[in-house]
Structure 1
């Protein structure tokens, strides 16, 4: 009986341990677990090579989100309890979706993996193919929550003897995908979530450089806070989810914003003369940023990219006398800011003041007269929601332009990937695509993962695990969770605590 070492991977992975080469494998399958925050997610993903191209098959993918509605935010203990209550059931359900055995036992042993390491008597018990390895989120995240998933993964690895690559998973899932996974390195990643707003240069699978981030709050936290102070109480209480940014989008654009955009990429030339629109289409048929803009079910024809800062100040002014301007455009001395850093706390303060105090529409100055939310008309509330998003999203889009300019010869990224929970916002997608077109970057490919892959999910952990495993990175059973994980320590993280 040929036995092989135990294989498993904690995502993001530590330096590779010694193991056999897997480049000859025609297929790999992993069970993945994600418990970094309030989502408990399990997935089974298989990667095959068919007709010279990589193809991903999602055998199982399910997520349970903790009910944090009472706290209007993520409560660590509530989220931990949800992981403890739901993870075992999800793993059990996932196991039932493992594909049946199709190869002989000799074939299984020949190709290794967890299947090859089980005792012969145990192999006769099950009719299922076992994963080749287990993938799990090791960090960053809430440490107790991470340990719940990490310890479960270790248990599975023993019993069986065993987030920035999401768009490459989506590319492999496409039925008519090209032979090479997309996007190709190098590319620029924009991670927009409740905990992070990052601009990352991805040069290779494990070579990522942080170009810019926030010094205060993330864009997702900003949107959530705007929603909590602006939206009617009954609307906030009508959902178990704490994704208030999604509620803000729905409120701002009525029924249109509730329609999800399931597009994944757009590329080639941009005709700035046509009216911007966005819509649902498959990445296999999309070809340009302009096509993304022209194909939308969301009508944003009213939005135009301002040609300069002065024009932006004019167009931002509303009939109520208030305006939200893009942060960090000019310094106190009046000079243009070309730093890639982001900031949303000042914009949040501006929104709070517009909601809390009356503005004189003639003088366009804020008065000292306080007002309640009930005193604000529905029309003005919707404008506040739209303008609060517009200013923040223009800020992100302009930083992407600055990043692309700074990387013009480094070599220059060929693609921009938008990921994270806020990436599901169709208005953000529209503003980013429109800004790139207006600023001379129509040749840049845009990748927008489907909304279901924007938030924390085990499918992206599974795919990252597969790519890291193929590159030679595995972990021992002694690894621990990491609360904070800097990009420059991907392969050699410092374990805190």
Structure 2
């Protein structure tokens, strides 16, 4: 018998709600509807996310988005079998909104609830694509403040291969963009500007590229961008596109080469790329070309599911339930985990 899982995402500056159908014997749940509200316009005036404003906006958005999703899917709240929510990691206040609403809905409906790991949602999001992966695979997670390489043998079976020791790739994009005066959100703006520049115009460092391990470091790159911008002085405006292109090229180069090294070391022939930076056009082009040469399959989420969204939360909950990795609970007291390593994710704890 199939079941309906409502997913709520509120870890940072996007409010996402989605409904998926999970059917026994079907490998991947079906996404019935999802809706997303981005707070970018609200936070632009401050040059970054203001946690208190983010939390207040989640409160305003989550129930109207839920109504929209249910109407689009042709269902009512009474049809929902499980309410899933992002338990962590993320901004504490923002997480509390989603968790509180989800547990209140569960209690009111008499339906179980399930807390989901935000990064597991990203990790599994390519299963909703037109070309879903199969286990096992290497995963490159590039989401916000997280850059990690994982070996994934199944739902809940994650081995950390390498991670950032300071700034993540997304932070390198955003902070470099801020240094170039590109505003918020900086990453997409830097990528757009980079299309007009020459990627080899400036020699920027590729930190830890030859470190002998799979860890990342992008703080030094940010410092190099700042140094180069100061050197240019009044010429910065004329060379801004070149500096943006060179910055993007350095980040992508490290991500691609570390990913290929992880595949070689594990012996796996399948790569999954997930998270907001996974939407970067240059990263996709270079990974596709490199993996094609080595006959490695590479999978991405659909572009509209690269950012934080409720679909990935509902999906992760459904896949954990299907695999027996976790059970939903009717204990509606909840906690959140603003810091929660993905490789520490347990199997059967509700």
Q: What is the TM-score when the length of structure 2 is the normalising length?
A: 0.88
Corresponding position: 1:467 with 2:337: no
2:15 pairs with 1:65: no
| 1:459-488 deviation per Cα after TM superposition (whole angstroms, max 9, x unaligned) | 010111111122232233223111111223
Cα distance, 1:424 vs. partner?
0.7
Cα deviations across residues 401-454 of structure 1 (Å, max 9, x unaligned)? 22112112xxxx23111111111110111122233345xxx2211102122111
Does residue 87 in structure 1 map to residue 62 in structure 2?
Answer: yes
State the 1:91 CA deviation.
2.2
Q: Secondary structure at the match of 2:88?
A: coil
Q: Secondary structure at the match of 1:323?
A: coil
Instruction: State the match for 2:145 in structure 1.
Output: 195
In structure 1, the residue corresponding to 2:17 is in which secondary structure?
strand
Q: Residues 231 and 248 of structure 1 are in contact (CA less than 8 Å); yes or no, is this contact kept in structure 2?
A: no
Is 1:97 matched up with 2:97?
A: no
> How big is the shift at 1:75?
1.3
For 2:29 and 2:344, locate their aligned partners in 1 and report how far apart those are by CA, in whole Å.
30
Partner Cα separation in structure 2 for residue 231 and residue 87 of structure 1: 33
Query: Match of 2:298?
Result: 446
Residue among 124, 128, 142 paired with 1:169:
128
Give the 3-state SS of the residue equivalent to 2:90 in structure 1: coil
Unaligned runs of 5+ in 1: 1-24, 101-125, 237-241, 255-299, 304-315, 331-336, 359-370
Secondary structure in structure 1 of the residue aligned to 2:273: strand
1:144 matched to 2:4: no
1:389 pairs with 2:248? yes
**What is the TM-score normalised by the length of structure 1?**
0.63
Query: 1:175-186 residue pairs with structure 2 within 5 A?
Result: 182-186=132-136
The residue matched to 2:298 in structure 1 has which SS?
Answer: strand
* Paired residue secondary structure (1:164): helix
Which protein is richer in helix relative to its size?
A: 2
Q: Is residue 213 of structure 2 the alignment partner of residue 339 of structure 1? A: yes
CA distance in 2, matches of 1:493, 1:383: 50
The reply on whether 1:431 has 2:307 as its aligned counterpart is no
Separation in structure 2 between the aligned mates of residue 185 and residue 213 of structure 1, nearest angstrom: 21
CA offsets, 1:299-354, max 9 Å, x none? x9x98xxxxxxxxxxxx4x3xxx411322245xxxxxx321111111111111111
Structure 2, gaps ≥5 residues long: 112-121
Closer, same or farther in 2 for the Cα pair 1:53/1:468, shift >3 Å?
Answer: closer
Is the aligned partner of 1:328 residue 2:208? yes
Residue in 1 aligned with 2:49? Answer: 74
**2:106 maps to 1:157:** yes
Of 257, 270, 280, the match for 1:415: 270
In the alignment, the residues of structure 1 paired with residue 63 and residue 312 of structure 2 have an alpha-carbon distance, to the nearest angstrom, of 20
The partner residue of 2:192 within 250, 261, 275 is 250
RMSD: 2.6
Q: Secondary structure at the match of 2:165?
A: coil
Q: What is the 5 A alignment of 1:281-296?
A: none
- The equivalent of 2:339 in structure 1 is 484
In the TM superposition, residue 211 of structure 1 has moved relative to its aligned partner by 0.6
